[in-house]
Amino acid sequence: MSKRIVLITGATSGIGEATTRLLADNYRLIICGRRKERLEGLKKELGGDVQTLSFDVRDKKAVFDSINSLPEDWQKVDILINNAGNAHGLDLIHEGNTDDWDAMMDINVKGLLYVSKAVLPQMVDRQQGHIVNISSIAGLEVYPKGNVYCASKHAVDALTKGMRMDLNEHGIKVTSIDPGLVETEFSEVRFKGNSEKAKQVYQNYTPLTAHDVAETIEFVISRPAHVMIGDLLILPTDQASSTIVNKKS
Which residues are known catalytic residues? 149
Give me the half-sphere count of Cα atoms (radius 13 Å) on the Cβ side of residue 239. Answer: 18
- CA dist 239 and 7 (Å) reads 30
Bridge partners of residue 80, in order along the sequence: 7, 131
Burial class of residue 58, CB neighbours in 10 A (0-12, 13-18, 19+): middle
DSSP assignment of the chain equals -PPPEEEESSTTSHHHHHHHHHHTTTSEEEEEES-HHHHHHHHHHH-SSEEEEE--TT-HHHHHHHHHTS-GGG---SEEEE----------GGG--HHHHHHHHIIIIIIHHHHHHHHHHHHHHHT-EEEEEE--GGGT---TT-HHHHHHHHHHHHHHHHHHHHHGGGTEEEEEEEE--B-SSHHHHHTTT-HHHHHHTTTTS--B-HHHHHHHHHHHHTS-TT----EEEE--TTBSSSS-B----
